[in-house]
């Protein structure tokens, strides 16, 4: 008895492997491009970060301790007299464009640092900076 074997078998199932490949490629493209779409499309000229250059020039330093004590350069001041003392220093010859550096203890509140920056701006400071500790190679 002879069995009948068709020479061309009919394809009755859809091969989904190419569809899955295309879908995965589209998902990967979406994941890569999604963070780029979240940035606003506004032309912005970002400021340059200054690290070592400010050490060579004359600057005024406002220091805030963890206890809330204030100093302008080497002189202890109160919050009430800070504005007048800073205004006096900024009005001196060659101090009109001086860099005012706020040095705050890491335990000081953000609000206190913000208040110091606002006081410096109100006193006439045009260039402000916040001092930070430089990272070292060894992690602590």
Number of domains the chain contains: 1
Q: What pLDDT score was predicted for residue 45?
A: 58
Cβ(86)–Cβ(102) under 8 Å? no
Give domain status of residue 36, yes or no.
Answer: no
Q: For the chain, give the percent of residues with pLDDT over 90.
A: 16
Cα 2 → chain centroid: 81
What confidence score (pLDDT) does residue 26 get? 96
CB atoms within 10 A of CB 14: 8
Residue numbers of the domain that contains 104: 53-130
Q: Which of 87, 63, 59 is nearest to 74 (CA)?
A: 63
For 44-68, the pLDDT digits (tens) are 555 555 555 545 467 888 888 878 8
* 2 found inside a domain: no
Measured between alpha carbons, how far is 91 from 97 in angstroms, rounded to an integer? 10
Tell me which residue has tokens 């068709």.
Answer: 6
């Amino acid at each position: 008895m002879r069995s009948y074997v068709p020479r061309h078998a009919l394809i009755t199932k859809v091969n989904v492997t190419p569809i899955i490949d295309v879908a995965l490629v589209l998902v990967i493209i979406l994941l890569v491009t999604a963070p780029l779409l979240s940035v606003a499309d506004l032309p912005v000229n970002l400021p340059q970060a200054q690290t070592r250059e400010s050490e060579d020039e004359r600057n005024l330093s406002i220091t805030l301790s963890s206890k809330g004590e204030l100093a302008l350069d080497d002189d202890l001041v109160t919050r009430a007299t800070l504005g007048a003392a800073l205004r006096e220093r900024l009005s001196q010859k060659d101090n009109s464009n001086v860099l005012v550096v706020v040095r705050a203890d890491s335990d000081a509140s953000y609000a206190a640092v913000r208040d110091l920056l606002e006081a410096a701006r109100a006193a006439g400071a045009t260039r402000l900076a916040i001092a930070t500790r430089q990272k070292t190679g060894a992690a602590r």
